[in-house]
Structure 1
């Protein structure tokens, strides 16, 4: 096995999610959070079918046991249906950076649950790396500068709770998917199944509530459809596949920590690329977070 393959997959997934979160946050204000969520799932299953055909030699998975199908369905419901619905609502309320900051709670939850469920005990140095990485992200969260000015206290709280709900869904997704991936089952096939389950559920609910037509109109608008397809390919397709590879080939606590770095990556993007004032506290938090990631790689 390639050294640090799982960790590299987790870090690449983080880069994918940071990029797609900016795209989805921008178009959610135009098309609506849940319309974008449903649209990107449909785009994702299209992309994943093509990728699965090229990589696995067939457009959809075969030889999936009922037990694996059950775990992947549960993973999809908890992560892609419930968790992502809340995350996309947070995108619409808070924007990409603050929404992804709420996902910083994923490593803590993931490490604790993995300790109970998989007996994945981290070394003292790895625990220090996790603590340093999470501490850096929490340092960034405490900054008041950059909070959307048009939000009142109640809206801000709802956005925070939606972001935390998305984080809980991501943890549940990682833990339940781990059971299906035991034994070397294809991470790409698992991603395809999870996405298909989410497509069926989300579009089924849209049909029951009479929102299919509105979703199609919103997602096919000239200033939305291209970005929606790009974001779906980068995030839900490639990013989720990479996250499955990370869970399959790395310790869940380490993979969760690496996949929680999009908030820091977005801070760097705003400061370096967009030239927005970031502040000393954000810089310190960023350095702490990346130091934690470096420790995880070295140990």
Structure 2
């Protein structure tokens, strides 16, 4: 499968999982929710890696790099993202996290020597612009859903979202050279997830109050967290690593940023109301940009 298609599938996974994640993340708290999600994802990924034998592709140097990537991208990045979502909701946190495409394009150019030119550059601009337009102008003026409320200072929420985007970019792009060596994507995801889970467990063991769950984990929240882990982390992150191995890192990051566009029809199902005109315009631009890149 083409790396561009893998990136789009990963974006779809993240869009779907955000609907599973919003409720449990608010009830459990960002740290507790992330910890449970990583536990479920680690179990799934290691079961797949052991069945497929992909763990044999990992050596000591690969594990060290994967560990660092896991701490930056999953332990810090994912936790900060859900802290942002708890403050701003999935729509506005989505537009902030979508900036990881811009961060990735700059980092890929500076450190990997990748440059996006021609039709791909125009398509990338349309796609990123469409994502921003769809989310910034994607709210109806009379929308009062709980996910649209701001909890706490707005500036802190914005800072958390941008920090999550930067962590995602750095943690993914640093693995580009490693993935081109033929490392198994499932085993690589399992290693990253396990290290992030270990970091979360140590944080909880330290006694810091912020790492504790706000409420006990209910059966419903456990199921939703498991679904989020399976779709976003076990499948989505593995698809991104596979795309990174086969394709240009900057373009993979740009295409994976369409998840906020893909979440619009899903939020429509939750809200039972049509997205605003700006959301439709942004979606059209994103589709045109994606078509130019894939062409």
Equivalent of 1:121, from 111, 115, 119? 115
Find the residue that maps to 1:224 and give its secondary structure.
helix
CA RMSD of aligned residues (A): 2.3
Structure 1 residue 115, shift from structure 2 partner = 1.2
Structure 1 residue 241, shift from structure 2 partner = 0.6
Q: Name 2:43's counterpart in structure 1.
A: 46
Runs of 4+ in structure 1 over 3 Å off: 144-150, 210-217, 271-275
Find the residue that maps to 1:69 and give its secondary structure.
helix
State the alpha-carbon separation in 1 of the partners of residues 270 and 288 from structure 2: 22
State the alpha-carbon separation in 1 of the partners of residues 243 and 176 from structure 2: 10
Equivalent of 1:261, from 237, 258, 262? 258
Q: Name 1:181's counterpart in structure 2.
A: 179
Structure 1 residue 170, shift from structure 2 partner = 0.6
| Per-residue deviation, residues 142-178 of structure 1 (Å, max 9, x unmatched) | 32645856427x6222222211111111101111121
Find the residue that maps to 2:153 and give its secondary structure.
helix
Quick check: 1:32 aligned with 2:26? no
Equivalent of 2:82, from 81, 88, 101? 88
Find the residue that maps to 1:89 and give its secondary structure.
helix
**Larger mean Cα displacement after TM superposition, 23-32 or 39-48:** 23-32
Q: Which runs of 5+ in 1 are unaligned?
A: none
- 1:122-201 matches, cutoff 5 A: 122-143=116-137, 145=140, 150-151=149-150, 155-201=153-199
State the alpha-carbon separation in 1 of the partners of residues 98 and 228 from structure 2: 21
State the alpha-carbon separation in 1 of the partners of residues 131 and 118 from structure 2: 20
Check the 8 A contact 1:94/1:159 in 2, yes or no.
Answer: yes
C-alpha distance 125-45 of structure 1, shift in aligned 2 (>3 A): same
Q: Name 1:97's counterpart in structure 2.
A: 91
State the alpha-carbon separation in 1 of the partners of residues 292 and 265 from structure 2: 20
TM-score w.r.t. the length of structure 1 is 0.89
Check the 8 A contact 1:40/1:231 in 2, yes or no.
Answer: yes
State the alpha-carbon separation in 2 of the partners of residues 47 and 104 from structure 1: 27
The size of the alignment, in residue pairs, is 290
Check the 8 A contact 2:80/2:164 in 1, yes or no.
Answer: yes
Find the residue that maps to 2:98 and give its secondary structure.
helix
Check the 8 A contact 2:127/2:285 in 1, yes or no.
Answer: yes
| Per-residue deviation, residues 51-100 of structure 1 (Å, max 9, x unmatched) | 212333x7xx2353333222211211110011111101012112222212
State the alpha-carbon separation in 1 of the partners of residues 5 and 123 from structure 2: 16
State the alpha-carbon separation in 2 of the partners of residues 223 and 272 from structure 1: 20
Quick check: 1:69 aligned with 2:68? no
Check the 8 A contact 1:98/1:263 in 2, yes or no.
Answer: no
Q: Name 1:289's counterpart in structure 2.
A: 286
State the alpha-carbon separation in 1 of the partners of residues 255 and 204 from structure 2: 34
Find the residue that maps to 1:151 and give its secondary structure.
coil
State the alpha-carbon separation in 2 of the partners of residues 207 and 140 from structure 1: 41
Structure 1 residue 284, shift from structure 2 partner = 0.5
C-alpha distance 215-169 of structure 1, shift in aligned 2 (>3 A): same
| Per-residue deviation, residues 218-254 of structure 1 (Å, max 9, x unmatched) | 33x1231111111111111111111111111111111
**Larger mean Cα displacement after TM superposition, 34-43 or 96-105:** 96-105
Structure 1 residue 213, shift from structure 2 partner = 10
Q: Which runs of 5+ in 2 are unaligned?
A: none
Structure 1 residue 209, shift from structure 2 partner = 1.7
Q: Name 1:234's counterpart in structure 2.
A: 231
Check the 8 A contact 1:45/1:196 in 2, yes or no.
Answer: yes
